[in-house]
Amino acid sequence: MPPRIKTFYLWDLAGTLFSEKWNIEKSGVANFHAYVESLGYDLKTVDPETYEGCYKIPYSEGLFDLSVAEGFQEVLEWTKNNGFFTTGTPAQIDWRAVQLKKRYNLDPRPFLPERFSTFDYGNTNVKTPEMLMDILEKKHAENYAAVVYTDDKSANCEFFLQSYLKVKNQVAPLKARAYYFTDNEQDIVQLADNYWQAGTLLQLRENEQRLDKIVYNNEDH
């Protein structure tokens, strides 16, 4: 078996790779929840798949104003092995692509070829440790050296690292790292041995390049 040198990057979408702002003027309602209710759904009883399907028009027609994180293309070209894990349906990246191609001439899908969704595991938009453990086991089987998770919610990053600990012995020598993204573009901060706070994608790349040299002496990533 070839040596484990590849790293897989598991990206969060909204708030990490894409900024999303509800357009009150264009939509005519105060927020997305009000929009869902305007379609005739009760937020207390609507099933998860139907609820997530309501994002189609807001994403594709600009009721959500989408923008792309600085450094998106150059960083994801460098990371190479990319996928996303979302509580939305896998098709939401296609709906985002409609708007992003019009506004920025950018199709994000070639940069994020692997799609992981909570809906792969049933009609649910809630992440569980078992889902993340399954992804880690798959990447271990594919001979990856590490899985890096990114999110703009610190609780989700910690949830990923806790899930890794539950399966660590089964997936050894696979490593796990997490990056918590904030709007503050201060210098990257190490929060734990395998956990950092970053303000930009470029900071993540710089830190990963440093780790590559330390761990793998791998200039080409």
CA 73/CA 65 separation, integer angstroms = 19
CATH superfamily of 7-17+69-87+127-215: HAD superfamily/HAD-like (3.40.50.1000)
So what's the pLDDT on residue 187? 84
Left if phi > 0, otherwise alpha if psi is -120 to 50, otherwise beta: which for 7? Answer: beta
Q: What pLDDT digit, counting tens, does each position of 188-207 carry?
A: 999 999 999 999 999 999 99
Q: What pLDDT digit, counting tens, does each position of 128-140 carry?
A: 999 999 999 999 9
Q: Rounded mean pLDDT of 3-13?
A: 91
pLDDT class of 117 with cuts at 50, 70, 90: very high
Q: Which residue has tokens 């990963």?
A: 208
Who contacts 214 (Cβ-Cβ below 8 Å, separation ≥6)? none
Supply the pTM of this predicted model. Answer: 0.94
Closest to 215 measured CA to CA, from 10, 7, 11: 7
